[in-house]
Amino acid sequence: MLISCPDQPGIVAAVSQFLFEHGANIVQSDQYTMDPEGGLFFIRIEFDLPDIEENIERFQRDFTHVANKFQMDWKLNLTSRKKRISIFVSKEDHCLLELLWHWRSGDLDVEIASVISNHPDTQPLVDSFGIPFYHVPVTADTKQEAEEKQLSILGDNVDVIILARYMQIISPSFIQHYADRIINIHHSFLPAFIGGKPYDRAHNRGVKIIGATAHYVTEELDGGPIIEQDVQRVSHRDNVEDLKRIGRQIERSVLAKAVAWHVEDRIIVHNNKTVVFS
């Protein structure tokens, strides 16, 4: 259960009492307050309730009384229901491979519904994992048609889209279908070097640190809520290709963490920020 609401006394007690009265056992609880005096309060609670799937509608209906009292924005997710993801890629495969390895090892507990690419290069790799691959070419003239085809492939059964170095700008109309459910990996430490060729621009600027950023996609280019970031030191001896090689390692780990946290329901989005219970 993920909850955000105005901070005030009694929130934790009310939720805990409700869960106790419904026979639930709290397994883990994490909370954060922006400001105890008039700020917002965030909490993530994992609990065990054997018959929750059969009685989820009643449970949600009963909890509405608690939620209304504290003006809660809340959602309940069942860990028994694996999230379905679709991975969008272009030509580079390092982020895609990282996700596939995590999935095959069981560390990423999801169903991969599809891999969609604007190039055919990664199809043999995806086929070897037994995952449906779709080649949907995209040009400036065919962007709307391509996105309509992508949406038809996704259908209504995909929970989150991962842009694993998918080098295309997503249109606002597409984003509206998946608000806070499209995760992108950008190959710089945002907000530095927004847009294309960040490694080239980082090299030209002579930076001593490069990084990668996983964030939710919004209409603002590379401006969505940040989920995870990491950096590594570089020097004047590193050329652009060195930066790309070093950066690929950062991109892989940052994206994998962000995707895992999303599918484990560890993230609450508030305005253009995230609270991540990692």
pLDDT of residue 37: 73
Residue 102 CA, chain-centre distance (Å), reads: 15
pLDDT digits (tens, 9 = 90+) for 25-63: 999 999 999 887 779 999 999 999 999 999 999 999 999
Superfamily of domain 2-75: ACT domain (3.30.70.260)
Residue with structure tokens 């962000």?
258
Task: For residue 120, give both structure tokens.
Answer: 């055919």
pLDDT digits (tens, 9 = 90+) for 177-204: 999 999 999 999 999 999 999 999 999 9
Q: Is the pLDDT of residue 233 over 90?
A: yes
Active-site annotation, residues:
222
pLDDT of residue 123: 98
Q: Mean pLDDT of all residues in the chain?
A: 96
pLDDT band per the 50, 70, 90 thresholds, residue 207: very high
Neighbours of 215 (CB within 10 A): 24
In whole angstroms, what is the distance from residue 132 CA to residue 228 CA?
28
pLDDT digits (tens, 9 = 90+) for 80-137: 999 999 999 999 999 999 999 999 999 999 999 999 999 999 999 999 999 999 999 9
Residue 272: name the closest of 228, 229, 223, 230 by CA.
223
pLDDT of residue 196: 92
Task: For residue 202, give both structure tokens.
Answer: 């980082």
Residue 50 CA, chain-centre distance (Å), reads: 28
Residue 170: name the closest of 218, 122, 121, 115 by CA.
218
> Span 2-15, mean pLDDT?
97
Q: Where are the domains of the chain?
A: 2-75, 83-276
pLDDT of residue 159: 97
> Span 7-11, mean pLDDT?
95
pLDDT of residue 112: 98
- The answer as to CATH 3.40.50.1820 being correct for domain 83-276 is no
Residue 47: name the closest of 69, 73, 16, 75 by CA.
16
pLDDT of residue 254: 98
In degrees, rounded to 5, the angle at the alpha carbon of residue 98 between the alpha carbons of residues 96 and 103 is: 95
